Structure 1
Amino acid sequence: MRRTRGRVVDVDTLEDFDRRLAAGVHSLSGWRLRALDLTARSDALRSVDVAGSLFLGCRLTLADESSVRARGAVVFPELPGIPIDTYRTALYTPADLYGDDDYADSLDARTYAWSKRETSQDAALAKSLHDHTIDVALSNWVAGRRLVGVMGGHAVVRGSREYADGVELGQHLSQRLTVATGGGPGAMEAVNLGGYLANRGADAREQALSTLAAVPGFSPSIAAWADAASAVRCEFPDGGDSLGIPTWHYGHEPPNLFASAVAKYFRNAQREAILLEVCQAGIVFLPGSGGTVQEVFQDACENFYADESSVAPMILVGRAYWTEQYPVWPLLTALAAGRPMEHHVHLVDTVQEAAMLASGGV
């Protein structure tokens, strides 16, 4: 049985529902029942007080639905024509999103197509409800883990030095922390691959890099790009944990297959804020362009107004990159001067230095 904060009780299986009622429960106040087929539980539903309960995507007989509504329950029905489970109770895995079919027929691709096509009120409601359930599932997954975020360019290609650096960084960080990325291709995939290979050595890393280099990017074929990643997963099964937080807002960029847990959102702004929020051990910024620069200053804004106990480290990798190509560092240090964040922003040259700094902050 599982209880969340206060009087909120999540019930996600019929077995849990039956067990709780058999234990003598008389009131469902504060219960959130999700995706349950309750059509054979009429007697049970009528034997308890349902005021203050929430039925999310549950199947009820028409009579039972009318009854629980009349007695104070709130019922959100399953919305038709929607490819995703609006009331899912866990984060996605790569297998959930990709399945066994061609990528064009995968849940990920079908959901992206639906999200671009559907603009109805039902679709907007479904997206909001889905993102809320991902929030809940992510909170559960993060509990007991200490996360460090890594952000960087989506255009980094397999086979490049930058990609190899990302994998090495992910491996080093994962020895003491759980890595989290934006969950997409490029530097994000590299770091999640490092997390996946956390318990393996340099030889495994080099073998994985060699396999992936045959398909440098997801264009022109997402299927070929994903197949190369699947080959690495088959060669090195039982990989380590890491988190990806992608978005269908950028659905043309597929999620990578190396994050063990995927918190995929519809709303990008929500996803960006959540990624910063869950990374209590700070953020490492690899070279990137517009999106990464935005993320640097979004994180800087959070730290600018934080007290000393709430500041999360910021580590920028690449002195020349962040002082010359994109001179973010001078402005960042000017913002930090005299603030609690001043001693928590760092500029380094190598991923090894970044990993030492981030891990030393545990």
Structure 2
Amino acid sequence: MEPALPATSFDREIGTLAEFDAVLAERGTLAGHRVQAVDLTGRTSALLTADVSGAVFLGCPMEPRAGARVRAAGALVFPPVPGLPFDPYRAHLYAPDELFAGLAGEGGYEATPDARAYAWFRRTKADGDVFASMLRAVHDDSVSDALDELLAGARVVGVMGGHAMGRGTDAYAGAARLGRCLARAGFTVATGGGPGAMEAANLGAYAAPHDDKMLAAALQLLARTATFTPSVTAWARAAFEVRERFPDGGTSVGIPTWFYGHEPPNAFASHLAKYFANATREDGLLARSGAGVVFLPGAAGTVQEIFDNATPNYYESRGEPTPMVLVDEAHWTRHLPAWPLLRALARDRAMKGRIALVESVDDAAGALEAMG
């Protein structure tokens, strides 16, 4: 059974107009609340009369007289920043449709908000503007907050693997089966949100509510555009063709970064927590994978992720070690022998019983369950 992500609960945070109205109706006050990226231009009468003492408005458009009144009444107002291709105060994670808006037009991928945000990042990172740095930090903190709210109570399994894994390969199909198996077992699949193994695992979770024929058909459609080079546009459009043909897919999370902006996010993660800071993204993905992490064959990035996850397990700095499953014995013992080192680290430590090496993706979910 494909898992439903827990409902988000709000106490003092307001992220939609419906929540704004509900808070006023139920509590009669906005005092002490945080309102994030809600267009309040149609709520002037409420803002002119409500108690807003101690409230904070983050990037909320409002009429000038409403803004003047809430400031005078003791609220703190951070106005929207014009001209940005993203909202630094956003209250929710991205959806693929949002990041890829405009993909079907003449401009293709280069016209999408995702590509424009990457262009902004490259430009402002090079000029060292402290204001741009602050905006990136505020954005990433907002994304982390939204991610924590989304995943509260979920059994999250991280799936790590290389971006170079091509559509149409046995490895890609295997990673997709893994994502489907994990989702059907009640886990929430989380990946780095990019192409290759990451896309495949998110695709599998997307396919979980459908019959098995759906995944086979999707893999066949995607194989026509094997990689995101030379054309991200063609690669992404193929994914949206699958989504249009097979709507109502399952939920999963992708956590990509504009730091590697040449690697686009994939369209099969239902929720995308996209960051500017890669270090925040990498640590956050592993830290939130409390039900375990599966490491598919990869290169330097995946090796780094193995030992990024092994370190807190070794020192038990996050509590009980989380399960770690490495897939493909030949890859992790001979090609890139991370397994012998990992096993040596685990000797006489609590993590010893929380690591496993399996031959194929079909064994990974069972290994996780056995260690869970």
TM-score (norm 1): 0.92
What is the 5 A alignment of 1:257-336? 257-306=267-316, 310-336=320-346
Tell me: CA distance 1:44–1:240, structure 2 relative to 1, closer, same or farther (3 Å): closer
Q: Which residue of 2 aligns with 1:130?
A: 139
Shift of 1:40: 5.9
In 2, the alpha carbon distance for the partners of 1:13 and 1:325 equals 50
Q: Which residue of 2 aligns with 1:9?
A: 12
Select the residue among 244, 248, 252 that pairs with 1:238: 248
Shift of 1:230: 1.6
Assess if the C-alpha contact under 8 Å between 1:153 and 1:288 holds in 2.
yes
Select the residue among 34, 42, 51 that pairs with 1:32: 34
Stretch moving more, 155-164 or 52-61? 52-61
Shift of 1:3: 5.6
Select the residue among 118, 143, 149 that pairs with 1:112: 118
- Unpaired runs of 5+ in structure 2? 1-7
Asked if 1:169 is matched to 2:178, the reply is yes
Deviations 1:322-353, CA, capped at 9 Å, x for gaps: 11111111111111111111110111111111
Select the residue among 48, 56, 59 that pairs with 2:58: 56
In 1, the alpha carbon distance for the partners of 2:54 and 2:220 equals 56
Assess if the C-alpha contact under 8 Å between 2:257 and 2:276 holds in 1.
yes
Shift of 1:58: 1.7
SS at match of 1:312: coil
Assess if the C-alpha contact under 8 Å between 1:154 and 1:188 holds in 2.
yes
Q: Which residue of 2 aligns with 1:222?
A: 232
SS at match of 1:271: helix
Tell me: CA distance 1:83–1:325, structure 2 relative to 1, closer, same or farther (3 Å): same
Tell me which amino acid in the other structure corresponds to 1:260.
S
In 2, the alpha carbon distance for the partners of 1:79 and 1:340 equals 49
Tell me: CA distance 1:215–1:73, structure 2 relative to 1, closer, same or farther (3 Å): same
SS at match of 1:310: coil
In 2, the alpha carbon distance for the partners of 1:20 and 1:346 equals 48
Q: Which residue of 1 aligns with 2:86?
A: 84
Assess if the C-alpha contact under 8 Å between 1:307 and 1:340 holds in 2.
no
Tell me: CA distance 1:49–1:3, structure 2 relative to 1, closer, same or farther (3 Å): farther
Query: How well do the aligned residues superpose, as a CA RMSD in angstroms?
Result: 2.2
- Unpaired runs of 5+ in structure 1? none
SS at match of 2:184: coil
Tell me: CA distance 1:233–1:49, structure 2 relative to 1, closer, same or farther (3 Å): closer
Asked if 1:250 is matched to 2:260, the reply is yes
Deviations 1:165-196, CA, capped at 9 Å, x for gaps: 11111111111111111010011111111111
SS at match of 2:228: coil
Higher relative CO (Cα under 8 Å, sequence separation at least 6) belongs to 2
Tell me: CA distance 1:16–1:285, structure 2 relative to 1, closer, same or farther (3 Å): closer
In 2, the alpha carbon distance for the partners of 1:58 and 1:295 equals 38
Tell me: CA distance 1:239–1:48, structure 2 relative to 1, closer, same or farther (3 Å): closer
In 2, the alpha carbon distance for the partners of 1:46 and 1:317 equals 60
Shift of 1:63: 5.0
In 1, the alpha carbon distance for the partners of 2:131 and 2:222 equals 40
Tell me: CA distance 1:46–1:209, structure 2 relative to 1, closer, same or farther (3 Å): closer
**Percent identity over the alignment?**
48
In 2, the alpha carbon distance for the partners of 1:37 and 1:309 equals 41
Shift of 1:207: 1.7
Assess if the C-alpha contact under 8 Å between 1:181 and 1:243 holds in 2.
yes
Asked if 1:148 is matched to 2:157, the reply is yes
Tell me: CA distance 1:18–1:204, structure 2 relative to 1, closer, same or farther (3 Å): closer
Number of paired residues? 358
TM-score (norm 2): 0.89
Tell me which amino acid in the other structure corresponds to 1:131.
D
Shift of 1:271: 0.6
Deviations 1:67-90, CA, capped at 9 Å, x for gaps: 544543222111122111222222
Deviations 1:30-72, CA, capped at 9 Å, x for gaps: 3001223445655544544433221101234445545544543
Select the residue among 193, 196, 201 that pairs with 2:203: 193
Tell me: CA distance 1:70–1:151, structure 2 relative to 1, closer, same or farther (3 Å): same
Tell me: CA distance 1:144–1:117, structure 2 relative to 1, closer, same or farther (3 Å): same
Tell me which amino acid in the other structure corresponds to 1:82.
L
